[in-house]
Structure formats: C-alpha cells, structure tokens
Amino acid sequence: MNPVEKVMTPDPVTVSVDTHATKVRSIFREEGFRTILVVSENRLQGAVTRGDMMNISSTKSNIAARGIMEKPRVIATPDMDLIHLAQEIMKAGTVYAPVVESPDNMHLVGIVTVADILRKFLYNGLQPDHETLEGIVTSNVVTCNYNDLISHVWNRMDESGYSGLPVMKDNKIIGIITRMDIIRSRHVRMGFESDSEMQGSIKVEKVMKTPPVVVTPQTPTSEAGEIILEYDIGRIPVVENPVYVKREPRRAKEADLVGIVSREDILWSYIR
C-alpha cells in the first residue's frame, strides 16, 4: 500500500477565512496555484479555485475568503491508500484533495494533487492500461481561434468546464490558452475588478502560448504523462502532421489537431 503521506505536500500555502479576496487574487496571480486552501486556526474550512475568483460579482468588493470558498469534494487522511484516493478524486471530478489529520479534528497537514499522484505512478513502475494515447484521446475538442476576444474565450472555458483551449488558425493548431494565462494577462476582470480594469477586447493571439507542446496518437501514455509533468500543464494537444520547432522538438509551429489528452485521462489509465 502507498499511503497518501508519502506523496502529499506538507504545510501547503493557505489563507484564513478572513483573508480579503484581493489578497487571495494576488496569490493566484503571483504563485500560479490552481487551488488555495482556507483555514481557521489551521483547521480546514474550504478551498478557493481560480474559477471561484473569476466568478465573484463586482458588487462584492469587500468579500473575504469565507464568502467565496467551496467545500472540497474529497478530503484525505495521511494513512489513506493512494490508489483509493486517486479513484475518489477522479470520480468526484476534482484535481486535488486536502489532507487532514483526522475527519474529527480537520487539522490540515497537507494537500495532494492529480499531478502528485501521477508522478508517483509514473516513476513507481506502474503500467497504464493503454500503451499509447490512441486509446484515451478525446477527439471532440473545444477550441478557440487566434482572433477571438479574450472575454469570449473565458466564457467558453466557464461554460465547457475546460481550463485550457487549443488555439486555431486556418484549421491548424498554433497555440494554447489557459485560465492562468488570462488571469496573469489582466485582460479579463478577475472577480470584483472594475470594468475600467477589464480589457476584454484583447485577442487570444496576444495572450496565448505559442508554439504549443504537442504529442501524436502514437505517443506512449507514460511519455505523455512525463511531458505534462515536466511542463506543468493540465492537458496536451494530440496532433498529426506537426511542423516541429527545430530547437524545441516537442513544440509545433502548426499541426492538424485530432484530439486532446488531460492529466486526468492519463491518471485514469493507471487506476482502472
């Protein structure tokens, strides 16, 4: 058995229930976290995600973390089996689990993410169900165009539930844009920022990452997992006919998009 305590990040960054939302926003922008845990006297109270911050009404400028936090869908303990936790996280449709000393006292001792679990499985000799990405790729991909407005792309992310979208030009993938890219660009109002701070007329090409890191349907599942961990990305486009960048052979100037694979897709392949 692999206990959670062997993989968790101890003493994670937290905010108190009374921390002002401006401070929480600042931590997201500066540190790049996907989730920040909320505590009271080091007892877990909830969590704030990037999406939670983006959805705050501009009329609630004085809101504190207690007013925007959500209840974690999964909570772990240090002695929980890692494979069991991975299954619970996947079933709950989340990407993290706070780790508490016990459900009785809710004393926070750490956090485990999908990336933490995937890293453990990749480098611990486990074999995925599917040798290559052909068996796990999602072919119906939500995309955006290079000349779409950032504000429209954020809405598309919110509606689809995807935090990153491939960027297309002339039916070829040329980049990728994520929620974090948008948050850091300051081109879409984050929560309670005023309309004067919002520049939603900015186009995707000004914010996207290009050229994108890509894989092909024949890429081994384990290799795709390693790439996702190396670049700290949540998903990776699956392509055909890529025109690779000579100095960065994992990046393509353009390619035919045939699908996408997420960290969660790869993790499922290890725990089914």
CATH number for the domain harbouring residue 243: 3.10.580.10
- 151 and 222 share one domain: yes
The pTM score is: 0.88
- 58 and 15 share one domain: yes
- 83 and 148 share one domain: no
- The answer to whether residue 125 sits within a structural domain is no
- 58 and 97 share one domain: yes
- 135 and 86 share one domain: no
User: Tokens representing 217?
Assistant: 């349907």
pLDDT in tens, 195-217: 444 445 789 999 999 999 999 99
Per-residue buried b or exposed e for 85-123, using 16+ beta carbons within 10 Å of the residue's own CB: bbbbbbeeebbbbbbbbeeeebebbbbbbbbbbbbbbbe
pLDDT of residue 28: 87
Sheet of strand 9-10, all strands in order from the earlier edge strand to the far edge? 9-10, 108-113, 96-100
- 162 and 103 share one domain: no
Domain count, the chain: 2
- 247 and 167 share one domain: yes
- The answer to whether residue 126 sits within a structural domain is no
pLDDT of residue 15: 97
Do residues 132 and 217 lie in contact, with contact meaning Cβ atoms separated by under 8 Å? yes
Q: Distance between CA atoms of 202 and 59, rounded to whole angstroms?
A: 24
- 187 and 104 share one domain: no
Domain range holding 62?
2-112
- 255 and 145 share one domain: yes
DSSP 59-70: T-TT-BGGGT-B
- The answer to whether residue 9 sits within a structural domain is yes
State how far the alpha carbon of 139 is from the alpha carbons of 169, 238, 264, in Å.
Answer: 18, 9, 15
Q: Residue 244 carries which side chain, given as an amino acid letter?
A: Y
pLDDT of residue 62: 74
The last residue of a domain, from among 64, 85, 112: 112
pLDDT of residue 56: 64
- 98 and 142 share one domain: no
* 8-state DSSP, 149: B
pLDDT in tens, 131-173: 999 999 999 999 999 999 988 898 899 899 898 999 999 999 9
Do residues 98 and 120 lie in contact, with contact meaning Cβ atoms separated by under 8 Å? no
- 79 and 20 share one domain: yes
- The answer to whether residue 121 sits within a structural domain is no
DSSP-derived 3-state class of residue 174? strand
- The answer to whether residue 59 sits within a structural domain is yes
- The answer to whether residue 33 sits within a structural domain is yes
Per-residue pLDDT of the chain (272 residues; tens, 9 = 90+): 689 999 999 999 999 999 998 889 889 888 888 899 999 999 999 999 987 776 665 545 578 999 999 999 999 999 999 999 999 999 999 999 999 999 999 999 999 999 999 999 998 888 999 999 999 999 999 999 999 998 889 889 989 989 899 999 999 999 999 988 888 887 655 444 444 444 457 899 999 999 999 999 999 999 999 999 999 999 999 999 999 999 999 999 999 999 999 999 999 999 97
pLDDT of residue 126: 86
- The answer to whether residue 117 sits within a structural domain is no
The last residue of a domain, from among 79, 112, 145: 112
- 199 and 248 share one domain: yes
